[in-house]
Structure 1
């Protein structure tokens, strides 16, 4: 055998065909294959290689595979719930940050809301150790198919209140997880604890006008976090209908019940003096209405505080801000009725010594400027049939709002070439015109004050016939439904309802019930006087 023989190693799956031979190398000679020990390997055929195929042995070739997009890991069980709480906490922090930076509220609000949130989550963390709780990670989130905007006076949950411990023991602890509308409620409770003259109507306005993060709060969460949320948690941070003021009022009431039942925590009453003055300013009313509102609250034993536990007997008495708005309406109707009947005051100190000229009031408070674009907060109410009646300004406003609100930063499934045909420019969100609105309110108030009608008092003598003299409060007319409201009264009720964050129908109902209660008090007083005279 020549010393110039070129030995090659067997592949891993090959060996010498001779039994017992452990040779690891072979060589080829005269078209035959031999192992290093000289055993001929049968079944071997030598193929002549071309020039281009020379020295190609040992090379590896791999087929190119298409790169698959790595699927995002969706968490489940307790990890998903923990991530949901983290996303929720981030949204709550951004809401408080907006209130402090954009609305000028004190920084203590963030500390107070943080403490409320810590108490809210304490019950959730305790429930994790419960066998019936969500510590096993096998439960499913029990969010209602209706959003908080679709319910009448309920939240997006199954609407079983937080307050009853006995009921909660039989419920799955999934219901203890907070819902999106509770973020607004927690912010309001922080405002209430700091005794600031802000109401739920302000929170409702900021949320519906895309000021405070709410309508698309899920966009405030980083994409890496929300991509790992399961579908039911992701949808819990979305809205499927516009926010309703009644749902917001009910959510705050349930939170107060929760803190009272779990931690024996009580909340202060509203800052009624400053809130009443705000209503007088926004509704362009004389300052004399303030004393009448306080007197009515004393007669009806209303202290403008939330009840610790909601009961059926409370009915409409559980919402202090709605009570305050209703008393302002009643006091205005007593001193400045909407009819044309002449009523003489007893003295110049009588609240009816000045009378509102409702024609001038309507002219001052009505918006006479033509609205070319959309009013803030009306975009979400648009339906498919409204598109046909939109002008150019409204269409631009709606598309800008849609881009800012609903188009997110997720990777699009459409090909890039198609998306390049319709590029979208960056649009800065519309600021809340709070300063301009305040200036307009002051201008309206001054216009109404200039149009007030002074009435001379009429003192009744002993021999004078009193049947033809009408006083303030006489011939008082109650409105049971909104259809009964005359022109100026309807506009006044609508403006008052918007300040409280409720509908016109709800305010009319509340006002009517308080009027009936006042009438019952008056009849009871007459019976007692009649009994004494007998």
Structure 2
């Protein structure tokens, strides 16, 4: 077969340059027919070669283009700002936060946005940067790092998704609202504010132009832990103090104390004791301006608050079976708590949704395959409505089978479900408080005549590790840790550290009293015996 050398074939990446003629059509050596290259035979001139006409291939323009360089930086910040705005909108419209919250968050974000100005507004080398890139990522440092604020770490460029919740919390802190970090963790878990699958709230054309490595920074791959949010808030606050010399007020402690006491269904007599312990420990419920050395959990004011509450509860209502009798009926310790019945009331409160045949708002994200097998029809509908509102991307074009699976019910009922869940929780707490007579019992009053009778506050037990907790104390510690958003181990360690400080203060007071009175040897022995009976901490369950 005779071949003729021509320009490269070009079909399907073929680089063949040798062609042959077959029935008036040109084919490359690999069999690709050449469009526009054919021989037209002249009937009046048999056997002569026809005229060759060439047709140019239409140019196909690529439509999927992604930004890179400064354009990608700006687009990422625009998307991040949009997520932050949608969170504020949800807090104000659906959760009844003050409208001024949006202005405070905007000011905080504007301060931080100034730090990115050199990166996104630099005019140098504008023309040398390509406007788009297809799929090749930029440098790892440029695109994959997220911002940290730890001392000694390298400077990182971009804010994290968790910092959106941190900015909203800092705004509530500046406004002195009685809101805790655990509340924001609950809002994110319940999908009351955009956090999980936050990219579903972003327009499709914006997402298509952002490189995948940037999108990964705005996506969630694991469940958010309350302690991680506590650390993120702490880091963010230290950043604003160090960078902009901002001063943040202390917590709205009275309101937060009230909410915590009410949620734990404890007598209100704990509040005055907590205020006294706060003064003794020197807690101001403020975030520190700077941290020298290693950070401690007790540096966080919300952990300070729950630590004081636990110590006050142990003083007034111990977890052991020792009979401690007050000396007058005006003391708050004339009533005691049956911790077994208290635990039953708390367990009934936690299982209120399952007892009513519901999954419970905020618990859908923890459902696994084994739970699905035991669900009833209403729970399955509840789970699918949550999945539709949380995980399905409404910006995508519907597929060919979309008509067989109609959607749209969950989105219409999401706001009503959020307010209903909040009302149901408040009603459940009110119902739990009405059950306090079931676990509160009276103590007999014993006068000063019986000097050997144990008094409230004596034989105080200290637990250095969670393995030392008795069953009654463990339930209380676990509930308090869950409500505050810390782990059980962290709470036990913080309570133990605060008790050590109180014990040192008591020893200093005894030492001052001893040298002031200059007692005899017999009086010292008598004083030591009295302290062993009525001291604050004299039993160590370590």
Q: Same fold (TM over 0.5)?
A: yes
Which residue of structure 2 aligns with residue 28 of structure 1?
none
More divergent stretch after superposition (110-119 vs 400-409): 400-409
Q: 1:90 aligns with which of 73, 82, 95?
A: 82
Which residue of structure 2 aligns with residue 365 of structure 1?
346
Q: How far apart are the structure 2 equivalents of 1:233 and 1:349?
A: 63
Structure 1 residue 142: Cα displacement: 6.2
Structure 1 residue 312: Cα displacement: 2.7
For each residue in 1:227-268, what CA deviation from the matched residue of structure 2 results, as whole angstroms up to 9, or x when unmatched? 111111101111110001111111111111111111111100
Answering whether residue 198 of structure 2 is matched by residue 217 of structure 1, we say yes
Structure 1 residue 279: Cα displacement: 0.9
Q: 2:492 aligns with which of 508, 512, 515?
A: 508
Q: Structure 1 residues 182 and 135 mapped into 2: Cα distance closer, same or farther (>3 Å)?
A: farther
Q: How far apart are the structure 2 equivalents of 1:244 and 1:134?
A: 42
Answering whether residue 478 of structure 2 is matched by residue 478 of structure 1, we say no
Answering whether residue 420 of structure 2 is matched by residue 439 of structure 1, we say no
Which residue of structure 2 aligns with residue 528 of structure 1?
512
More divergent stretch after superposition (518-527 vs 294-303): 518-527
Match of 1:453, SS state, is strand
Q: Structure 1 residues 354 and 230 mapped into 2: Cα distance closer, same or farther (>3 Å)?
A: same
Gaps of at least 5 residues in structure 2 are: 1-39, 46-52, 130-137, 520-542
Structure 1 residue 217: Cα displacement: 1.2
Structure 1 residue 69: Cα displacement: 9.5
Structure 1 residue 528: Cα displacement: 3.4
For each residue in 1:415-446, what CA deviation from the matched residue of structure 2 results, as whole angstroms up to 9, or x when unmatched? x5555665556423342511111111112112
Contact 2:465 2:489 in 1 (8 A): yes
Contact 1:216 1:406 in 2 (8 A): yes
Q: How far apart are the structure 2 equivalents of 1:45 and 1:184?
A: 76
Q: How far apart are the structure 1 equivalents of 2:248 and 2:103?
A: 16
After TM superposition, list the pairs within 5 Å mapping 1:39-438 onto structure 2.
47=43, 71-127=63-119, 139-140=139-140, 157=146, 159-161=148-150, 167=152, 171-172=154-155, 175-312=156-293, 314-367=295-348, 369=352, 370=355, 372-384=357-369, 387=372, 390=375, 392-409=377-394, 411=396, 416-417=399-400, 424=407, 426-428=409-411, 429=414, 430-432=417-419, 433-438=421-426
With normalisation by structure 1, the TM-score equals 0.76
Match of 1:355, SS state, is strand
Structure 1 residue 476: Cα displacement: 1.6
Q: How far apart are the structure 1 equivalents of 2:61 and 2:121?
A: 38
More divergent stretch after superposition (279-288 vs 119-128): 119-128
Contact 2:285 2:304 in 1 (8 A): yes
Q: Structure 1 residues 143 and 317 mapped into 2: Cα distance closer, same or farther (>3 Å)?
A: farther
- Aligned pairs, number: 455
Root-mean-square deviation (Å): 3.4
For each residue in 1:100-144, what CA deviation from the matched residue of structure 2 results, as whole angstroms up to 9, or x when unmatched? 111211111111111000001111114557899999986545677
Contact 2:357 2:378 in 1 (8 A): yes
Structure 1 residue 454: Cα displacement: 3.0
Q: Structure 1 residues 81 and 140 mapped into 2: Cα distance closer, same or farther (>3 Å)?
A: farther
For each residue in 1:340-379, what CA deviation from the matched residue of structure 2 results, as whole angstroms up to 9, or x when unmatched? 2111113333221222233442333322652644233233
Which residue of structure 1 aligns with residue 441 of structure 2?
453
Contact 1:253 1:318 in 2 (8 A): no
Larger Rg: 1
With normalisation by structure 2, the TM-score equals 0.75
Q: Structure 1 residues 159 and 191 mapped into 2: Cα distance closer, same or farther (>3 Å)?
A: same
Contact 2:146 2:158 in 1 (8 A): no
Contact 1:219 1:408 in 2 (8 A): yes
Contact 1:306 1:320 in 2 (8 A): yes
Gaps of at least 5 residues in structure 1 are: 1-43, 50-59, 145-155
More divergent stretch after superposition (386-395 vs 361-370): 386-395
Q: How far apart are the structure 2 equivalents of 1:79 and 1:299?
A: 55
Q: How far apart are the structure 1 equivalents of 2:139 and 2:78?
A: 19
Q: Structure 1 residues 531 and 130 mapped into 2: Cα distance closer, same or farther (>3 Å)?
A: farther
Structure 1 residue 87: Cα displacement: 0.7
More divergent stretch after superposition (335-344 vs 312-321): 312-321
Higher helix proportion: 2
Q: How far apart are the structure 2 equivalents of 1:127 and 1:227?
A: 22
